[in-house]
Structure 1
Amino acid sequence: MLEIAVERENGERHVRVSARELARLVRRDGDRSLLVRRIPDPPGVFVRVSRRAGRPYTVERRDDTAGRHFRAVTDSPWAVVAAIAGWARREAGWEADLAWSPLDTGPVGEVPPLELPEGERERLEAYVREVLAGGYVSRAELADFAEDHLATAKRRPVSPEQARALADRLWLERVAEQAEWQGETDPERLTRAFTALREAGITARENFTCCSTCGHAEIGDAGEPGARGFVYFHSQCTDSAVAGHGLTLFYGGFDDSPETATAVGHEVVAALEAVGLRAEWDGDPRWAIVITPLDWRRRLAG
């Protein structure tokens, strides 16, 4: 898989795609643009592909926060795919097969310093770091959270530009921290278990909705056709895991029978144990499954 996230014009995101999937996205009819970012999304680094029907592909690349921006035009989707794949892999000379020209995007404006009353900046940064620790946020979403956290109906003390600057700084801080992590982490084991469950016919969703009420109401629409049951945890469960309290999983059968719920519960526990996670559950379908102990270190994707 390529360590990139590809966002379509309609907002749909594809994370860690194969070269074949990348080719499908580039050549897909109806897509006018694709935004491609590396994982874990360093600020100021991206590739954008755009095309109108019957016209060549336009490929833009931005290399760093200094604003170095280049553009190339080609009729070949395969040249576009090869360039992006080489860029994703950081291959030497990946850009050589396209004719790049500098693109003037104008001066980069300075962001005014963030001036907040005593204690507010500390609370804001603590909140942003907590969201980062959950690991499910993109850098753009993180900036939105930073902008809105202190906002009220009468006061918005953090501008969009200040929020992006703060989010980028703390994002890079977290990226440097996770660079020291070795091997597979518990959240990655969890993702592996959820992938196996989906392949076995159980809808499995991470960080799904804000609470169990919303989760149970929406999980049916999120399921794959023919799924027998479901398992998920919501964002408050993620927060609890970040705080060191383990992770609560909700599960059940789409036929609403206790027998199916029990069977799904046993499959979930078996999948967790197969990847080395310990689950606490007494077999009663009225009770949630809890993963504990759990070291929550989820690598950012962007």
Structure 2
Amino acid sequence: MSDGGFQVEGAGAVVGAGPVNGAGSVDGAGPVDYNAQPAGLRIPPQYLPKGVGDAQAQEFLDILWNNLLMGGDPDFDYLVDYICDYPFFSESEKSRELDSIPLDAAEALAEFLIAQRLAQQETFGQVPPMPITLAFAELERNGIIARENFACCQTCGHDEILGQVADPSQWNAYVFFHQQDAESIFECGAGALAFGLAPGGRAAGLNMSDLIRSTILPTLEKHGVTAKWDGDERTRILLENVNLYYPLESLTPHPS
């Protein structure tokens, strides 16, 4: 299940990785935004329908770029389909739809943007792990399965997460944020964390609320992630001040 966004394969936490949200530093040179668009990046006009204004072009670029930030192996065909289906409207006549981007231009634009992101990543060098990644690693050392950018939505995440470990009975609980949460984090630095008891926790008679208060919230805060929870197990944990960095993998050359 998914409400939108480009599909990628293999995206997830990277140790050796930071807002549009991914801030950090490279070689001590000061803050670096690992997810910002390269300075001066624009969609080449030959890829856009005639009549598209600067504001629409920038909005379109922002959407495409934010979805590349999900990292992993880009689904080229899905990206091209999205570009072809994107609606543009006349700046002077808001109700008049412009021509769509043809297939050959969509393929060229997809290749252009992926190449821009890969080239940008090459300038980062070794990127340190993000605080949320460090927090999740500590949770796992304490018997709580923790996954970033896991599954397309909350329902699928709950259904699939116990399949991530060899023996769920050895784990007390789990937490995750899904793809749509990751998209929100890239946009504003905030998202939500789903949770649940694992078989080991149920067998031991553990209480989820107690685990959240004693282990999950303190671990997140220890690593600089603001975590707020209202105490109701039907509501997720609010995450703020979250930085992510998921590098895009090389694209297999697309047959022309």
Aligning the two structures, in what range does the TM-score lie when normalised by the shorter sequence?
0.5 to 0.7
**Residue pairs, 1:262-301, within 5 angstroms:** 262-266=209-213, 267-294=215-242, 296-298=243-245, 300=247
Q: Measure how far apart 1:286 and its partner are.
A: 2.4
Q: Measure how far apart 1:123 and its partner are.
A: 4.7
Amino acid at match of 1:157: P
Q: Measure how far apart 1:260 and its partner are.
A: 3.1
Residues 1:146 and 2:146 aligned together: no
Kept in 1, the 8 Å contact 2:143–2:172? The answer is yes
Hey, what's the Cα distance between the residues in 1 that align with 2:134 and 2:218?
12
- Sort the Cα spacing of 1:217 and 1:151 in 2 relative to 1 into closer, same or farther, 3 A: farther
Q: Per chain length, whose mean CA-contact separation is higher, i.e. which structure has more relative contact order (CA < 8 Å, sep 6+)?
A: 2
Q: Measure how far apart 1:200 and its partner are.
A: 1.9
- Write out the 4+ residue segments of structure 1 that deviate beyond 6 Å after TM superposition: 11-17
**Correspondence for 2:102 among 138, 157, 163:** 157
- Sort the Cα spacing of 1:214 and 1:16 in 2 relative to 1 into closer, same or farther, 3 A: closer
Partner of 2:156: 214
- Sort the Cα spacing of 1:128 and 1:279 in 2 relative to 1 into closer, same or farther, 3 A: same
Amino acid at match of 2:247: L
Q: Measure how far apart 1:114 and its partner are.
A: 3.0
Kept in 1, the 8 Å contact 2:131–2:223? The answer is yes
Residues 1:127 and 2:87 aligned together: no
Hey, what's the Cα distance between the residues in 1 that align with 2:184 and 2:13?
25
Partner of 2:3: none
TM-score norm. by structure 1 comes to: 0.51
Kept in 2, the 8 Å contact 1:265–1:285? The answer is no
Q: Measure how far apart 1:190 and its partner are.
A: 0.3
Provide the aligned length of Structure 1 versus Structure 2.
189
**Correspondence for 1:246 among 175, 181, 190:** 190
Structure 2's unaligned 5+ residue stretches are 1-8, 18-45, 86-99, 250-256
Q: Measure how far apart 1:199 and its partner are.
A: 2.1
Describe the superposition over 1:152-184 as per-residue Cα deviations: whole angstroms up to 9, x where unpaired.
5xx8734475145223343046537x849x985
Describe the superposition over 1:11-61 as per-residue Cα deviations: whole angstroms up to 9, x where unpaired.
9899989xxxxxxxxxxxxxxxxxxxxx99xxxxxxxxxxxxxxxxxxxxx
Amino acid at match of 1:292: E
Hey, what's the Cα distance between the residues in 1 that align with 2:239 and 2:13?
25
**Correspondence for 1:189 among 116, 131, 147:** 131
Structure 1's unaligned 5+ residue stretches are 1-10, 18-38, 41-112
Q: RMSD value over aligned CA atoms?
A: 3.8
Name the % identity: 23
Hey, what's the Cα distance between the residues in 1 that align with 2:236 and 2:11?
30
Amino acid at match of 1:114: Y
